[in-house]
């Protein structure tokens, strides 16, 4: 049986803005912290608009030829540098076919690779050595996502490139919406108390004075899954949170802060109900 489609919760304003901008052939950059729903929003909009797209996921080792395409060496040996020996990369393919280029995590790509996009977005053509000029068909545009600059493993995006994009910032959603997301993803099979507890702990990591970067709804979903599978809440949080938060100072003990967040109890009954599972672990 097919998995039920994960429906988007809230975000009506952002959905509308992104749809409108794409329909108007604008390049859009969606910026927000990890797990805020950037990729999800883009996929939802491209699907709703029924637009063909090429997706690439930026990483620090992404190369120029991976983006544009490359000459296939065995073919070149046979035929020389003929156009038929060129394997289109996602950029060239999107330009030739008038598709959307969806670049997930734009600022994880090296700057030199990002810069290839400039003429493509601006003048709607690029020139590839030994191949020549590629023109973009109508419909070609770039929709990209990125984490804010202070995140690790990001490269700077040049002012020139930013100047080609309309910007759509995504912020964390309200408590009610985050509860709804968690509830949908667990298909109503989890107690409201657990949903609330996980979402509240994760939201608390975003406001903690010792934490530079808090966790996303993904962390809440992980906590819920672990607790629902029989784990004690503290144990689940100690597993789900450390990889998803960043401390302001490396001297701070992340695990201790997580323990404190779990024990600051707004739902003390919840812990009592869960206590039999604690003892069963020995
Ligand atoms: N508004 C939303 N409605 C439903 N699910 C959401 C929403 N926002 C985020 N999610 C879920 O949260 C998780 C993280 O979303 P994702 O798009 O991968 O984040 P990002 O790309 O910003 O890191 C995914 O499991 C996604 O399905
Ligand atoms: Mg993403």
Mind listing the pLDDT tens digit for each residue in 148-158?
876 666 778 88
Residues near ligand 1 (Cβ within 6 A): 6, 8-11, 32, 34-40, 145, 181, 217-218
Give the separation between CA 15 and CA 180, rounded to whole angstroms.
Answer: 18
Q: How confident is the model at residue 7 (pLDDT cuts 50, 70, 90)?
A: confident
CB count within 10 Å of CB 120 equals: 25
Closest ligand, as measured to the CA of 57: 2
Closest ligand, as measured to the CA of 106: 2
**Average of per-residue pLDDT values in the chain:** 89
Q: Per 3-state DSSP, what percentage of the chain is helix, strand, and coil (rounded to 5)?
A: 50, 15, 35
Residue 2 clears pLDDT 80, i.e. is over it: no
Residue 179 clears pLDDT 90, i.e. is over it: yes
Give the separation between CA 15 and CA 4, rounded to whole angstroms.
Answer: 21
What are 61-115's pLDDT values in tens digits?
999 999 999 999 999 999 999 999 999 999 999 999 999 999 999 999 999 999 9
CA 130 to ligand 2 center in whole angstroms: 35
Q: CATH 1.10.8 spans which residues of the chain?
A: 175-280
Q: CATH 3.40.50.300 spans which residues of the chain?
A: 12-169
Fold designation for 12-169: Rossmann fold (3.40.50)
- Whether residue 204 contacts residue 264, with contact meaning beta carbons closer than 8 Å, is answered with yes
Report CA 44 to chain centroid distance, whole Å. 13
CA 281 to ligand 2 center in whole angstroms: 36
CA 158 to ligand 1 center in whole angstroms: 27
What CATH architecture is 175-280? Orthogonal Bundle (1.10)
Supply the pLDDT for residue 148. Answer: 87
Ligand 1 atom nearest the C-alpha of 177 is: 1
């Amino acid at each position: 049986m097919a998995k039920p489609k994960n429906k988007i919760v809230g975000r009506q304003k952002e959905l509308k803005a992104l749809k409108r901008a794409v329909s108007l052939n604008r390049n859009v950059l969606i910026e927000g912290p990890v797990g805020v729903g950037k990729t999800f929003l883009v996929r939802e909009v491209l699907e709703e608009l029924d637009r063909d797209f090429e997706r690439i996921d930026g990483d620090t080792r992404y190369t120029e030829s991976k983006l544009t395409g490359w000459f296939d060496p065995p073919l070149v040996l046979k035929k020389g540098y003929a156009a038929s020996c060129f394997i289109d990369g996602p950029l060239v393919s999107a330009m030739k076919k008038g598709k959307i280029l969806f670049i997930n995590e734009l600022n994880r790509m090296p700057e030199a690779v990002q810069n290839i996009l400039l003429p493509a977005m601006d003048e709607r053509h690029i020139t590839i050595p030994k191949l020549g000029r590629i023109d973009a068909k109508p419909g070609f545009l770039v929709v990209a996502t990125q984490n804010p600059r202070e995140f690790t493993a990001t490269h700077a995006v040049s002012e020139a490139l930013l100047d080609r994009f309309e910007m759509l910032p995504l912020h964390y959603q309200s408590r009610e919406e985050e509860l709804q997301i968690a509830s949908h993803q667990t298909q109503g099979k989890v107690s409201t108390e657990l949903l609330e507890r996980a979402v509240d702990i994760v939201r608390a990591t975003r406001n903690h004075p010792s934490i530079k970067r808090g966790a996303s709804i993904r962390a809440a979903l992980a906590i819920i899954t672990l607790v629902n599978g029989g784990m004690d809440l503290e144990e689940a949080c100690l597993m789900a949170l450390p990889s998803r938060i960043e401390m302001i100072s490396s001297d701070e003990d992340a695990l201790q802060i997580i323990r404190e967040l779990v024990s600051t109890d707004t739902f003390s009954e919840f812990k009592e109900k869960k206590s039999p599972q604690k003892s069963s672990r020995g």
